[in-house]
Amino acid sequence: MTKADIVNEISQNTGIEKVTVQKAVEAIMETMKDSLTSGRNVYLRGFGSFIVKRRAEKIARNISKNTTIIVPAHFIPSFKPAKEFVAQVKQQVK
């Protein structure tokens, strides 16, 4: 499902114009990105949590050149689904 599909679904279900729904969806996504880039997690009850995880510094290998490189510590976004959401998916998807 793409962002356009989501906008279409919401527009059909609510009767709100697609342009208005698209602005709202874009605003939600932008707010979530801003929150995560500033280190604040986003919690959506019943859906899940968008969190920022810290990856520790590690040593990796470039196997084509047979050298080692140091990957510095960094942060990545992550999603942890809510328990009830996971249960719904397990029941529906087979």
pLDDT in tens, 62-87: 889 999 999 999 999 999 999 999 99
* CATH superfamily to which 3-92 belongs: IHF-like DNA-binding proteins (4.10.520.10)
Provide the CA 92 distance to its chain's centre, in angstroms. Answer: 22
Give the pLDDT mean for 25-29: 96
* pLDDT grade for 92, boundaries at 50, 70 and 90: confident
Q: Label residue 77 exposed, middle or buried (CB < 10 Å: 0-12, 13-18, 19+).
A: middle
Q: pLDDT of 3-21, one tens digit each?
A: 999 999 999 999 999 999 9
* pLDDT grade for 44, boundaries at 50, 70 and 90: very high
Contact 70, 49 (CB under 8 A): no
Domain boundaries, the chain: 3-92
Nearest to 82, CA basis, from 54, 34, 52, 43: 43
Query: What pLDDT is stored for residue 72 in this prediction?
Result: 96
